[in-house]
């Protein structure tokens, strides 16, 4: 959230943070992951220099605002923004986002004791579409459970919440809840290029079941004479390893894929994404993760559907060329990362991206891949 608002932030400072007293002057370099409390003159001057360099870098990036995402030889990679509220779309539009690649609709359901009504949801989705003025807006249906709580649903505590009753599993189990959201989405789709995305898909059955509930929502609206757009594109998050492995089958069922690398890495490397103690095992460049992404992209490309990445990896510095080389066609990230991703892509040809991706795919370990990636970034 801090990133999407352009606020420098540091996490995982641990006990060190206890040494900071109220009123202390702090210098924060979010990019370097550095905090200095009560800086001396020299450090203050050093940070002022960094700020100046950062401002110059931002000015350079501004030239990409109205440009489309593409490699130096014109291979298109659509650069989009992730949002949690409709108002976040303003920043995506201002910074030249080519769409919203992920609207995490669950934020409408959190931090409150009741559930948002169909009207409230409709207004929020419509607003996002209107702000984006006809550009694609991918709205993910309710993705709760795991680390995200919705008090009104009073979900039971579970031993393994990330593997438990969450996301599409809840929606398919509680169709009355799901139908309200789908009705709101279908109605809002009259105001832009709204697309519906189902999270945490692990099988074709779930896709078909979810699409059936969507048809039911359409039937209800038709019967009631409520206007809506029946021609909405439907996609899925590929974030469970079996979905990536079965991407060839799933690609025949949907209009687009979006790879959720945050969860894909968590599940494929069996590493809790919020556990600091084992974060060293959380490796986006693990060759196994890269193979899953390549496999998903290949299936999408062969079936003529778009394949995006909307996890943190999409907006990580230098990753855009890697993902493009792996065959990904869309990248969705926090608004503040979009210009740098366009700049990263524009520096390389598609062949160079593919060469890099092939080298990374051929690595025996994440460490080897990270070394190659760092050398390539510095060359
Ligand atoms: C992901 O899993 O990569 C993703 C984008 O979804 P979330 O971070 O909301 O789980
Ligand atoms: Mg996810």
133 φ, ψ to 5°? Answer: 45, 55
Q: Please state, in angstroms and rounded to a whole number, the distance separating the CA atoms of residues 363 and 355.
A: 13
Contacts 24+ apart (CB under 8 A), 22-31: 30/2
Q: Does residue 365 surpass a pLDDT of 70? A: yes
Distance CA 324, CA 356 (A): 10
Percentage of the residues of the chain whose pLDDT score is greater than 90: 90
pLDDT tens digits for range 298-334: 999 999 999 999 999 999 999 999 999 999 999 999 9
The C-alpha atoms of residue 332 and residue 95 are separated, in whole angstroms, by 13
Least confident range from 12-26, 61-75, 335-349: namely: 12-26
Residue 114: pLDDT band by 50, 70, 90 thresholds? Answer: very high
Environment of ion ligand 2 (residues, CB < 5 A): 239, 260, 263
pLDDT digits (tens, 9 = 90+) for 30-74: 888 899 999 999 999 999 999 999 999 999 999 999 999 999 999
Mean residue pLDDT of the chain comes to 95
Q: Is the pLDDT of residue 147 over 90?
A: no
Residue nearest to atom 8 of ligand 1 (CA): 262
Res. 100: pLDDT tops 90: yes
Query: With the C-alpha atoms ordered 61, 67, 70, 71, is the resulting torsion angle positive or negative?
Result: negative
User: How many angstroms does the Cα of residue 195 sit away from the middle of ligand 1?
Assistant: 17
With a CB cutoff of 8 Å and minimum separation 6, the contacts of 33 are: 10
The SS3 call for residue 285 is: coil
Residue 40 has, within 13 A of its CA and on its CB side, a CA count of: 1
CA atoms of 103 and 377, how far apart (whole Å): 30
List, in sequence order, every residue forming a beta bridge with 197; answer none if it has no partner.
140, 235
Residue 4: pLDDT band by 50, 70, 90 thresholds? low
CA–CA distance from 7 to each of 37, 118, 365 (Å)?
Answer: 18, 33, 34
CB of 189 closer than 8 Å to CB of 228: yes
Ligand closest to the CA atom of residue 84: 1
Mutation pick for ligand 1 pocket among 142, 239, 259 (CB with most ligand atoms within 8 Å): 239
Give the CA radius of gyration of the chain: 21
Binding-site residues, ligand 1, Cβ < 6 A: 102, 104, 143, 239, 260-263, 310-311
Query: Tokens at residue 176, please?
Result: 């009355």
Predicted pLDDT at 324? 98
Whole-angstrom distance, CA of residue 220 vs CA of residue 251? 28
Mean predicted confidence (pLDDT) in 254-278: 96
Residues contacting 368, CB < 8 A, separation 6+:
none
8 CA → ligand 1 middle, Å: 21
Q: Which atom of ligand 1 is nearest to the CA of 313?
A: 3
Residue 224 has pLDDT above 90, yes or no: yes
H helices of 133-235, in order, are 168-173, 175-188, 204-224
pLDDT of res. 305 = 98
Mean pLDDT of 64-91: 97
Q: Please state the φ and ψ torsions of residue 309, each to the nearest 5 degrees.
A: -125, 130
Please state, in angstroms and as integers, the Cα–Cα distance from residue 173 to each residue in 136, 169, 210, 286, following that order: 29, 6, 10, 34
Query: What is the pTM (predicted TM-score) of this model?
Result: 0.92
Rounded CA separation 258/371 (Å): 27
* Best of 199, 330, 333 for a ligand 1 pocket test (most atoms within 8 Å of beta carbon): 199
Mean pLDDT of 261-269: 97
Q: How many CB atoms lie within 10 A of CB 82?
A: 27
- Spatial CB neighbours of 362, under 8 Å, sequence gap ≥ 6: 287
Q: Can you tell me which atom of ligand 1 is nearest the CA of 310?
A: 5
CB-CB contact of 216 with 151 (8 Å): no
Structural domains of the chain in order of their starting residue, each with its CATH number: 1-64 (no CATH), 67-378 (3.20.20.60)
pLDDT of 113 reads: 95
Question: Which atom of ligand 1 sits closest to the CA of residue 146?
Answer: 10
Helices and strands (H, E) in the chain, number of each type:
15, 10
């Amino acid at each position: 959230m801090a990133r999407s608002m352009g606020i420098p932030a540091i996490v995982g400072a641990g006990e060190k943070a206890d040494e900071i007293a109220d009123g202390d002057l702090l210098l924060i370099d979010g990019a370097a992951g550095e905090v200095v409390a009560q800086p001396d003159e020299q450090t203050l001057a050093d940070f002022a220099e960094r700020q100046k360099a950062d401002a110059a870098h931002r000015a350079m990036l501004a030239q990409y605002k109205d440009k489309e995402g593409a490699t130096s030889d014109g291979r298109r990679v659509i650069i989009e923004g992730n949002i949690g509220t409709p108002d976040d779309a303003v920043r995506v539009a201002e910074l030249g986002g080519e769409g919203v690649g992920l609207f995490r609709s669950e934020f409408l359901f959190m931090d409150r004791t009741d559930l948002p009504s169909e009207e409230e949801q409709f207004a929020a989705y419509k607003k996002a579409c209107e702000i984006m003025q006809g550009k694609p807006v991918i709205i993910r249906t309710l993705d709760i459970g795991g680390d995200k709580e919705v008090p009104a649903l009073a979900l039971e505590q579970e031993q393994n919440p990330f593997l438990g009753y969450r996301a599409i599993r809840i929606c398919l189990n509680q169709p009355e809840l799901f139908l309200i959201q789908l009705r709101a989405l279908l109605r809002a789709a009259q105001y832009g290029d709204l697309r519906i995305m189902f999270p945490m898909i692990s099988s074709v059955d779930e896709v078909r079941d979810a699409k059936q509930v969507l048809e039911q929502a359409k039937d209800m609206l038709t019967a009631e004479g409520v206007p809506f757009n029946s021609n909405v594109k439907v996609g899925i998050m590929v974030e469970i390893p079996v979905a990536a492995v079965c991407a060839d089958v799933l690609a025949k069922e949907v209009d687009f894929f979006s790879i959720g690398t945050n969860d894909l890495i968590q599940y494929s490397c069996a590493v809790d994404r919020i556990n600091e103690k084992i974060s060293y095992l959380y490796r986006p460049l693990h060759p196994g993760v890269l193979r899953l992404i390549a496999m998903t992209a290949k299936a999408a490309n062969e079936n003529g559907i778009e394949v995006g990445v909307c996890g943190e990896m999409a907006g990580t510095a230098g990753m855009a060329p890697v993902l493009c080389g792996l065959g990904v066609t869309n990248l969705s990230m926090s608004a503040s990362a979009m210009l740098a991703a366009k700049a990263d892509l524009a520096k390389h040809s598609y062949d160079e991206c593919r060469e890099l991706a092939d080298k990374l795919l051929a690595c025996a370990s994440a460490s080897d891949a990270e070394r190659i990636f760092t050398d390539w970034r510095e060359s």
